[in-house]
Amino acid sequence: MWETVFKDIDSYFDEMVHIRRYLHQHPELSFQETETAKYIANQYEELGIPYRANVGGNGVVAKLEGGKPGKTIALRADFDALPIQDEKDVPYKSTVPGVMHACGHDGHTAALLCLAKALLPYKDEIPGTIVFLHQHAEEFTPGGAKPMIEDGALEGVDVVFGTHLWISTEVGTIETAPEAFFAGADAFEITIQGKGGHGAIPHQTKDSILIASQLVTSLQQIVSRKIDPLQSAVVTVGTFEAGKAFNVIADTAKITGTVRTFGQDVQETVIKEMENQIKGACTAHEADYDFQYNRGYPPIINHKEEAQLVLDAASQTPGVEKAQFVSPVMTGEDFSYYLLEKPGAYYFTGAQKEGHVYAHHHPKFDFDERALPIAAKTLFSSFLEYQNKHQ
């Protein structure tokens, strides 16, 4: 019977593409996804699947209760977009200036919605309950996962699975990691308060640009000289703002950036060493500073049993040619909050588009839509595999 379900999922390919492209043309930023949330809720309304809207904000949670006894398994898809101008020359290009789906969340949503539709006719034969988690605001901290959990999105759930369409991985490939998979993602802001003055009289100033420039270099030494080489960490400076005139030494400079780590001990070491570097540079130049460190999403730490289950299930799923463990990545994702509450695993569904070299968050980002039914089928096969192992 389940072979028929997989075929039915494939039969919804055109609808998945239609939904994905509609959402791609009508993106909404994190915490502003009101119309997208209504669109998702309307889909469940038309299907007659019970749902709850406005979960933790703009989240939507639907439940399909099967006719057979079993576990309650949550499947998650996010649906927010990014503040990026869409530069693709395609019919489904974003119609909203400065906003686009540059990470695949439109595809995640399309896959999960059509999975729900495909499974509805088999409701009486499905064991347990499937919870469809449609999450808002993944892209912008504090994210949507945590408030959705606080609003009861995981009540009664035994395990949670999620997937991310991944364009550096070939279509037909499923990838995950047995433990650490995504890094914790933090942000920092450093403001240097010096003493401005004339560019021709530098000795009467406290050059904030010089101090900040030294920090840009010295911060890189934290990872290379203060972190165990067998551990992973990233310290990246993303912006540098200072000065308004070519002949004026700026009194203030601001740098912002991100820190990525997998363990709290490494995270604490980075924070301490950043403070030491900033304090040392400013003391040497008799300048003041303000250091703001914002702890973002925790790392995604998959549960071993569930991660292996995903690969076992994927290897038996039509359309999957390869299922494998891979090394962790340094990107961040608030799916981590679900895994702090429940067992589960997150994985990549390969969506590499032939001849397309633009990465996630690029203005020309796009993916191979043949990955959509594979994402839906592997979510369902993970559901089935978990049910089979926990009867």
Q: Which residues have a catalytic role annotated?
A: 80, 138
Q: Up-side HSE of residue 2: CA atoms within 13 Å toward CB?
A: 15
Distance CA 112, CA 19 (A): 11
Q: Is 126 exposed, middle or buried (0-12, 13-18, 19+ CB in 10 A)?
A: buried
Side-by-side strand order, sheet with 159-166: 51-55, 59-65, 127-135, 68-78, 159-166, 344-350, 173-176, 322-325
Q: Is 198 annotated as a binding residue?
A: no
Q: Tokens 């009508």 label which residue? A: 26
With H, G, I as helix, E, B as strand and everything else as coil, classify residue 219: helix
Q: Count CB atoms within 10 A of the CB of residue 103.
A: 25
Least Cα distance to 301 among 176, 135, 164 occurs for 176
Q: What is the dihedral of CA 153, 154, 156, 162, to 10 degrees?
A: 120
Is 103 known as a binding-site position? yes
Residue 52: burial class (beta carbons within 10 Å; 0-12, 13-18, 19+): middle
Show the DSSP H helices in 12-120 as ranges. Answer: 13-25, 34-47, 105-119
What whole-number distance in Å separates Cα of residue 211 and Cα of residue 362? 32
CB 333 within 8 A of CB 164: yes
Residue 139 known to bind ligand: yes
User: What's the token pair of residue 65?
Assistant: 């209760």
Sign of CA dihedral 115, 116, 120, 126: positive
Three-class SS of residue 83?
Answer: coil
Contact 45, 100 (CB under 8 A): no
User: Which residues, listed in sequence order, are joined to residue 52 by a DSSP beta bridge?
Assistant: 61
Q: Facing residues of 100 across strands?
A: 82
Token pair, residue 233, equals: 């960490």
Positions at the binding site: 103, 105, 139, 164, 361
